[in-house]
Chain A
Amino acid sequence: MEKLKQFTSSSLFLPIVALAVLLIFNAVFVDGFLHIQLTEDGRLYGRLIDILNRSSSLVILSLGMTFVIATSGIDISVGAVVAISAAVVCTFIGGRGDGIPEHPMVLAMLAAVGAGVVCGIWNGLLVAKFKIQAVVATLILMTAGRGIAQLMTEGQIITVYYKPFSYISGTIPGNILPTTIFIAAAMVLLVVFLMKKTSIGLFVQSVGINPTASRFSGINVTLVIFLVYAFSGLCAGVSGLIESSLIRAADANNAGLNMEMDAILAVALGGTLLSGGKFYIGGSVIGAITIQTLTTTMYALGVSADQLPVVKAIAVIAICLIQSKRCQEIFDKWKARHMQPDNPEEKAVNKA
């Protein structure tokens, strides 16, 4: 009982409930939603796997975004950085019809991630060093980024025929799960490691809550802010690999389009306030998966791509309302009244 109480008051409670409700809805209304099968060439296949696969690039972006938002900043350039990263990796490998790469794929991947980091450093310099407001500073790259990507691809959509390139978003032969899941898991683990073994988390929160007091305590505020933007760039760079591999091409106009908004939304759904301060990595990851689940559900129910945003918006409003302060107050009051342990969790689900 004590554990249950602890769980209901934990920060992850609401994001998990929101995701659980969606999944239950799916399980009931979408045929074969929970069905996972092994294909002939030894891969796992099913809607759940698909959701994880397709949400991984958003998960990665939202990791970086979480830190940025925790310092009470915002990075709206990540979508464009995804496009730059995609352009870099594709131009490096090259679009030769015979499928022979111009540079080794590892080099191309490193270059793409590197490009992402450079973009992040640029944002970091503008925000941390020159103290430009985050929205304005990252707006620069948001608008210019796709142009830079166009320059790199010389206005063409470079299609990559080199087979291993598709493994990034597909499945490496012999593996049973898509590579993206491993990449996303690796990134999440990296962040968890940073959180557990370094004090970056503490510093980021401290800077987000009170930069003056942080400086007075000896924290290098400029460096912390710089680092979070650089990391966000790194995440966008990795995401760009996945996004370009998915279509095996660099499409400067559409790669990562509007993903910055989804990433911000994922962070918000995860319970991190846009005003900065306390942040919840787990919440952001769940938020990102929730958004993808929503999309998949809508497609499965036959909602067309044009109408999707409307339905998505309605679902998002519902989720945000549940997580709002007012709703939580009502929930807390309700909990206080029904202190008797009659499974508060179940009722919360009903309410949601």
Chain B
Amino acid sequence: MANVLLEMRQIDKIFPGVRALSKVDFTLRAGEIHSLMGENGAGKSTLVKVLTGVYGRDGGTILLDGKETTPRTTKEAQECGISTVYQEVNLCSNLTVAENIFIGRQPKKHGFIDWTTMNKRAAELLQRLSVRIDVTKTLDHYPVAVQQMIAIARAVDVSARILILDEPTSSLDEQETQKLFTIIRQLKKQGMGIIFISHFLDQVYELCDRITVLRNGKLIGAYDVDKLPKFELIAKMVGKSLSDVQDFEKREEKSQPSEEMFLEASHIGCTGSLVDMDVAIHKGEVIGFAGLLGSGRTETAELLFGIHEITHGAITVNGKKMHIKEPMAAMKQKIAFCPEDRKSSGIIEDLSVRENIILAMQAKDGMFRHIPYKEQVKITDDCIKLLNIKVSSREQLIRNLSGGNQQKVIIARWLATQPELLILDEPTRGIDVGTKSEIQKMAITLAKKRGMCVIFISSEMDEMVRTCTKLIVLRDRRKVAELENEDISSENVMRAIAGGEG
């Protein structure tokens, strides 16, 4: 067994009113990829933040190489050799790649920044990660995946011995993920200890050596990956028995679409974002848009909702030709859209859950037809009950909710407007297994019981296969295949994406 790199013992962390961590132990060995698993709010991020000095701890010890350390700031943690790459890439998009890598510690010559050395070293560093790009270009030239690599390059260069990756793959597609994994394995070989946090179970099983499971701030246990079957892991994470978990995985009977057409889009497109797309959505249908990032799935959704205007093609709603040029026009046709990026385009973080829920409804009514407070309360309470949103009160700020609950609030916002077409763009990204399955089931139930149309967009093939009655596959900003009923399988989708005959 390799030597122990990091040992956290009996870590306590108390926030006002909550015990975020209680007596958690965590051990990381050199040359090990160790996954930290748990539902949202289990304490994964808190543990990482205690380690990286973002939070102070209220009890316990951290031993690094057997020596006790107490990093008080992220900088101190970096100096100890602990580097972190966060879920959202926190680089500056208007600086060059090299600048981003060396920000705050630029090589100097006679007191001035030594650009030549900096660019050279940046290029070398990226080459080590087998990324070959022009380091003098600004960051926004490169896709998110490359940006992620650059973030890792930066983290690795600080002579790191422990690398923490918090949801590094949530914005990457399959290929990019594999590339990232190759790099992670390389780093592992160099003897680095890697903490990998992800909601993707498959990836954890593919990559990691050990798993530490947390639940409600308590340590459940640390296990070797090959001795812990997936079901057991899920059971440990959610704290339910095995049979309950298998229930999670059980398919909800799919919805049967009616003959009645709700929306038809023929050959729509928008210069620069979508080339050509056909959709026909019947009432009570759950349609999936499958494809890689940037394939046009989100772009189609945004065109249907009027975020951008279509430059060619036509959209027909309920048999009438419609010109949807702004979100309000789509909302009037009873179309609702839960955007992909919850944080930047979904939640209004400083407003309460109630205000967030009634927002779209109020916008639809107009600012002069104010919904009376009592009615707002009723709508909010109904939604909280219907979607099983976990809040301490309806006046709680949405920023203090976990990701899954935030997502539910956004869905509630749209359900309150009584839509006929609900577009869910990556509704389950970055949220825990339990909530994921709840949202999938909800999509099906809405279609079945209310005859609602649902467009479901997701990077997770399983989830699409499980929920959708029809799948439209996109590649390179155009529709390449349409799969129905029995044809829907991960294999067929993959083949269509890859370019074979669907």
Contacts and interface: CB of A to CB of B under 8 A. Distances in A.
Contact of A213 (B328, B346, B355, B370): B346
A212 B345 contact: yes
B233 to A, nearest CB: 34
A336 B368 CA distance: 42
A195 to B, nearest CB: 10
Given A198-B368, A218-B360, A218-B364, A205 B328 contact: no
Given A209-B348, A210-B348, A216 B367 contact: no
B349 interface: yes
User: Which among B331, B351, B413 has the highest number of chain A CB atoms within 10 Å?
Assistant: B351
A277 B347 CA distance: 13
B350 interface: yes
A218 B368 CA distance: 15
User: Which among A200, A205, A215, A218 has the highest number of chain B CB atoms within 10 Å?
Assistant: A218
A153 to B, nearest CB: 38
Nearest to A206: B348
A176 to B, nearest CB: 36
B176 to A, nearest CB: 25
B360 to A, nearest CB: 5
Nearest to A195: B370
B375 to A, nearest CB: 13
A203 interface: yes
A200 to B, nearest CB: 5
B331 A218 contact: yes
A253 to B, nearest CB: 39
Contact of B370 (A199, A217, A219, A220): A199
B339 A216 contact: yes
B344 interface: yes
B346 A216 contact: yes
Contact of B348 (A200, A213, A336): A213
B327 A202 contact: no
A163 interface: no
A206 B363 CA distance: 11
A206 B350 CA distance: 8
Interface string B296-334: 000000000101000000000000000000111001000
Contacts of B347: 210, 213
Nearest to B337: A216
Nearest to B414: A217
Q: How large is the interface on B (under 10, 10 to 19, 20 to 34, 35 or more residues)?
A: 20 to 34
B96 interface: no
Nearest to B306: A218
A3 interface: no
Contacts of A197: 370
A217 B363 CA distance: 7
Interface in A110-146: none
Contacts of B368: 198-199
B350 A203 contact: no
A197 B344 CA distance: 29
A214 interface: yes
B490 interface: no
Contacts, number: 75
A278 interface: yes
Nearest to A332: B16
B362 A205 contact: no
B346 A277 contact: no
B485 to A, nearest CB: 33
Interface in A208-238: 209-210, 212-220
A203 B363 contact: yes
B359 A210 contact: no
User: Which among A199, A212, A213 has the highest number of chain B CB atoms within 10 Å?
Assistant: A213
Contacts of B365: 199
Interface in B363-402: 363-365, 367-368, 370-371
A229 to B, nearest CB: 16
Contacts of A212: 344-345
Nearest to A273: B350
Nearest to A218: B363
Contacts of A196: 370
B328 A218 contact: yes
B367 A199 contact: yes
Contacts of B359: 202, 206, 214, 217, 219
A196 to B, nearest CB: 8
A199 B362 contact: yes
A218 B346 contact: no
A214 B348 CA distance: 8
14 contacts: A197-B370, A198-B367, A198-B368, A199-B365, A199-B367, A205-B348, A209-B349, A212-B344, A212-B345, A214-B348, A217-B363, A218-B328, A218-B360, A220-B328
Interface of A: 196-200, 202-203, 205-206, 209-210, 212-220, 277-278, 336
Nearest 5 Cβ contacts at the A-B interface: A218-B363, A217-B360, A199-B367, A212-B345, A219-B363
